Structure 1
């Protein structure tokens, strides 16, 4: 069966349905056609995630954080949906340009940039840039007639898995100095932005940051404010439950209702859109009993697409593609490389596995392939794109 026929099979299944025998058969056929490890990108799920977040944040422009998963098919689908794009590097600028995405749909949000990166973005036509310190403001003086700046302010959250305000963002008490310096240099400031951190446990930090941003805009009313960027941090569930996005965004919507009507509101979702849109098929390539546990060696690990376990604090749900009723035993899942750090799970209960058995890892879209390496010259997993795919159940 070819990939086109498989895509047709995927299209017959609703996301709300559990993984059926046909779904398992189709995934197995994909593995037979393409080999493993294999990442399966489900564009239907991209649609669902984008539309669900947009419904939860009506009127907010969604700028997809390209760094989460910069696959061309995903970017083109979001472009077709009317999405916008959050760029951070010259490489990301070049990628969206090569895909024909227009610069007007993009912002450049990295607070620290080389001059060459600024020029490359400007050559593309992207004119909206984030700054968070005086030295960065000065970099834009040569381009002051071509750029519009957004100041990133630090609002730290204790609920976030990854604190992104530790490395970036000016302190609120430093905002006056930065704004005054930019104006003195003849630069145009039009926006405020913040990012409370990745995988926020609650919307409280977003709400506080929105309220503080509104107050700052009122305080510095000499600025022609046009934009408020509330960043990302919208949570997804890996192995523990998180708030439904509608519940998470409800207090955020309430806080945003106080933003003056003339100010456009942006957000920077990455993980929320990308993570659920991809699964990975893995194969058992070796097995050994070591002490009291069975060790199973898979053909991808933390040096590959499961790299987010090290870099992103993520633990991906992994199960057998075809569940068994066999007795469970304490087991270890390890990756294929020669490095002993390449262990996926040291305490997982599994039935006895055989070489050649297939497993499926879910929530594999965000910050996985993005940080995968080719250590030991193991190639990064191939990506197959489909139009619909029910998410595998446990």
Structure 2
């Protein structure tokens, strides 16, 4: 997968130039709160009856949290730092779950102090950590389902095998710890929902078998995240993607409450990157353009998230030249895209990256002393644009 680059008329850059000028800063990440609301509402409509818990790790931004809290979202936290962020948002801790399967003792204490009482586990050692808190917590047991089509295979690192579920549930019962349900995450950015359907059906069988034996019911199923975002291959039809998932959920017993942990689908389309050419050089017949953002900054997702973003440059020229788009640091790995045919760009010209909300600002660094992109808000209250 490689970056796609669109060449647009120079006049189309004025919107982004205005944002840069008004903020007095480059690079920028433009957060469109209305697009975030639209993404959330479309997923809720596609999965009616499923409680949504936003995966904070995809874009840990206070304005994102406030916007989604106003929409009625719950929140998926994985660290003490994320709990500290949520403490500043008007959301009940009862609408949070702690989904990191492996936790430090401090993570458990901090989450309980905040008010989160639902935790995900996937092995006997992790279950045992909750024995001192067995009167205060409920657990979800994470089951592993590998997905060959997922861009990021999270079940490689976390989750127990389906055949281990009964043994782990028995261990929790021996320790007096309540396990209220199962969870899974089939991986990220698969355009095929068949693995989610398979995981739901397998969990359905486990839930029904336990219920038939007269054992305490598993009343929660957390179907994780992984709902795909569009990265220039056309808009994702979330209604069509979720149709088989809805059918599988309809086969669950009526007493099962379903949760989901959307991250990328909500955050990715909601943010746009804006970088500026800070230098250029003609090397071996190719124009090298050096931008003030790169793979150590907002484009970090190209390394850590295996994602390449739809790019846009602005020119009125029809001529094209071999080109390389580079980041600002002194490291040779800091290249955004190469082997491109682009019009000649000048110092001060812009590069716009689309769908740059997920795992961009979240994993950006200050390497080499270059500052991270500043976040600019638009449509915060539907009819106004603010910066922050």
TM (norm. structure 1) is 0.91
CA deviations 1:83-130 (Å, max 9, x no partner) are 010000000011101223220110000000011110111111100000
Residue of structure 1 equivalent to 2:109:
119
Query: Offset at 1:242?
Result: 6.5
The answer on 1:296 being equivalent to 2:286 is no
Superposition pairs of residues 83-94 of structure 1, within 5 angstroms: 83-94=73-84
Q: For structure 1, which runs of at least 5 residues remain unmatched after alignment? A: 1-18, 390-394
* Structure 2 counterpart of 1:82: 72
**How far apart are 1:21 and its partner, in Å?**
8.9
Q: Which residue is equivalent to 1:28?
A: 17
Supply the distance in 1 between the matched residues of 2:46 and 2:328 (Cα, whole angstroms).
41
Aligned to 1:8: none
Confirm whether residue 348 of structure 1 aligns to residue 340 of structure 2. Answer: yes
Cα distance in structure 1, aligned partners of 2:320 and 2:245: 44
* CA contact 2:229–2:265 (8 Å) conserved in 1: yes
**Residue aligned with 2:351, SS:** strand
Per the alignment, residue 161 of structure 1 pairs with: 151
Aligned pairs (5 A) from 1:58-207:
58-207=48-197
Bigger mean CA offset, 217-226 vs 133-142: 217-226
Aligned counterpart in structure 2 of residue 331 of structure 1, from 302, 323, 333:
323
Q: Secondary structure at the match of 1:201?
A: coil
Question: Which residue pairs with 1:368 in the alignment?
Answer: 360
Question: What secondary structure, in the 3-state scheme, does the structure 1 residue paired with 2:199 have?
Answer: helix
Q: Structure 2: how far apart are the matches of 1:376 and 1:329?
A: 30
Report if the CA contact (8 A) 1:305-1:380 is conserved.
Answer: yes
Matches of 1:135 and 1:119 in 2, distance apart? 17
Hey, what's the Cα distance between the residues in 1 that align with 2:12 and 2:209? 57
Q: Is the 8 A contact 1:189 1:224 kept in 2?
A: no
1:319 paired with 2:312, answer: yes
Q: Which residue of 1 aligns with 2:5?
A: none
- 1:321-372 deviation digits (Å, cap 9, x = unpaired): x342421222100000000000000122210000110121111100000000
C-alpha deviation, 1:243, in angstroms: 4.4
8 Å Cα contact 1:165-1:196 kept in structure 2: yes
CA RMSD between the two structures: 1.6
Shift of 1:318: 1.0
Distance 2:153 2:235 in 1: 18
Q: Distance in 2 between matches of 1:45 and 1:175?
A: 39
* Counterpart contact for 2:69–2:89, Cα < 8 Å: no
> Displacement, 1:241?
4.0
Q: Which residue, 267, 285, 294 being the options, matches 1:274?
A: 267
Output the CA distance in 2 between the equivalents of 1:230 and 1:175: 16
C-alpha separation in 2, matches of 1:28 and 1:327: 23
Aligned to 1:9: none
Asked if the contact 2:52/2:262 (under 8 Å) is kept, the reply is yes
Report the CA distance between 1:298 and its aligned residue.
0.5
CA distance in 2, matches of 1:146, 1:88: 18
Contact 2:184 2:222 in 1 (8 A): yes
Report which stretch shifted further, 20-29 or 198-207.
20-29
CA-to-aligned-CA distance 1:114-161 (integer Å, 9 cap, x gap): 111101111111000000000000000000000000000001111100
**Within 1, Cα distance between the matches of 2:321 and 2:174?**
68
- Match for 1:215 among 200, 205, 208? 205
Deviation at 1:23, TM superposition (A): 6.8
8 A contact 1:201–1:242 mirrored in 2: no
Q: 1:123 to 1:46 in 2, by over 3 A?
A: same
